[in-house]
Structure formats: structure tokens, C-alpha cells
Amino acid sequence: MRKKLLVTSIILLSIIHIGQGQSFWFGPKGGGGLGFQNWQNSQTNALFTPNVDLFIESYSEENSGAVYASLGYHTRGSAIRAFDFNGQLFSNQGFKFRNAVAEVGWKKQLALQWSSIPYFGFGIRGEYTISNNLADYARFANPFYPDKELARKWMYGVTVSGGFEYTLTDLIKGFVELSLMPDLSDQYFQPPLNNIIDPWTREKINLQERRIRNVTFEVKVGFKFLRKVIYQ
């Protein structure tokens, strides 16, 4: 809990610092992504996920680097898809975790004389799970499905990103961004379970411990607007 509070405090302080009495960029970004998880006892696939953020970013005349902070809504998770003997999809189930995400980090533009300006960045994230859909699977009474009560509320992780910026006007830029977002804490934890009834064989089985973490790959587009402070 201390790590999660520390991450959240750093993000909030960064947002306040960037916006205090100086020029800064701000704007929205959003898009889609692929969510991955390893449920150990079942083979999972990528889950297609939406994302949206509002961000603020420090301004530098020399483009020497920028500090940024963002608040957003992201879906994490994974999917199970089953196919028949003819290769036709007959079952498509997804485990979805709808998270509020706060992030702070640093980004740097590359000094290349291109029409678009490439950049890269690194950040740390704090996340809170607003809701999930695990209750949808309770009716199956299947121990291989995750239990809603065992999902964690607070997580943290890192973000590695890169993209291209396009200058539209002196005060507006557009950009395309790719992000890899692995978690460093568990989205779901289940202790070992013994003498569980297998729903197919009706025999008693033991389930090993599950520690499930999210890894998400996201593609985003956005716009940034300059709030420029001119000192007299």
C-alpha cells in the first residue's frame, strides 16, 4: 500500500508543478490496444481494449525534454477464444478490468530534421480498478474462472512509449503514440486451493497459486495545445 500511495502522490505533485505559473502543453489522446494476461490454468488470448487520457506537459523552447502527467480510463484484461474443428469461432469470452490510470513521466524529442518529430518517453503509473466483469462467470461455478472477490483494486506499473509529433500551428500539434505498459503489481491474486471439484471429471483437484499481472500494448492519437505565458 505504501508503494501505491507514493506513486499516486508523485503523480499529483507533478501535475500541480507543471501547471504553476509557466507555459505548458495540454490535451486529449486516445485509441485502442491489446491486453495480455497469463491465467496459468487456461490459455488466454489478446483482448482488444479502448483507452482515453487527458494530459499536461511542460514546455521548453529548446525542446530539451519534457515532464508530463496524465489521467485516463483504460481497460486491461485478456480473452479466451474457442474454435470448432472447422476453425469457426464459437466462444469468445473476455476478462475485463476497467481502470482509472494516473501517470507521470519524462519524454524527449530526437534531433532529426524530418517533417514529423520522433520522440520517446518513460513513465510510472498508478491504477485503480473501477469495475470488472468477473461476476459474469460466477454462474458457471467453474474454479478455472477468476473470482471477482480476489481481484485487486490498486496496481502500479511502468510505461515505455514512442511516437511522432506533427506541427499544425504555432499553438497546436498532433501526434501518434505507441506504448508498452507492463504492470509491476498483481491485478488478481488467488492463493492455492485444495480439494476443488473439477466441473468436467467431478474429481477433486488442487489449484496452484495465481498471480496475474497485466501487460498492455496501446496505439493512441492526440492533440496538444500550448498555453504560453509571456512575461512583461
pLDDT of residue 94: 84
The residue count of the chain comes to 232
Q: Which domain holds residue 14?
A: 2-227
Domain CATH for 122: 2.40.160.20
Indicate whether 64 belongs to any domain: yes
pLDDT tens, residue by residue, 118-131: 999 999 999 999 99
In a domain, 136, yes or no: yes
Strands 172-182 and 154-167 come out as antiparallel
Residue 232 in any domain: the answer is no
Side-chain-side CA neighbours of 84 within 13 Å: the count stands at 4
Number of domains in the chain: 1
Per-residue model confidence (pLDDT) at position 89: 47
Residue closest to 220 by CA, chosen among 70, 69, 29, 72 = 29
Give residue 148's identity as a one-letter amino acid code.
Answer: K
Q: Domain for residue 204, yes or no?
A: yes
Cα 70 from Cα 104, distance rounded (Å) = 6
Q: Where are the alpha helices (DSSP H) in the chain?
A: 2-18
pLDDT at 14: 60
Closest CA to 35 of 24, 21, 46: 46
Q: How many CB atoms are located within 10 Å of the residue 56 CB?
A: 21
pLDDT < 70 regions, the chain? 1-21, 40-43, 81-92, 141, 199-200, 229-232
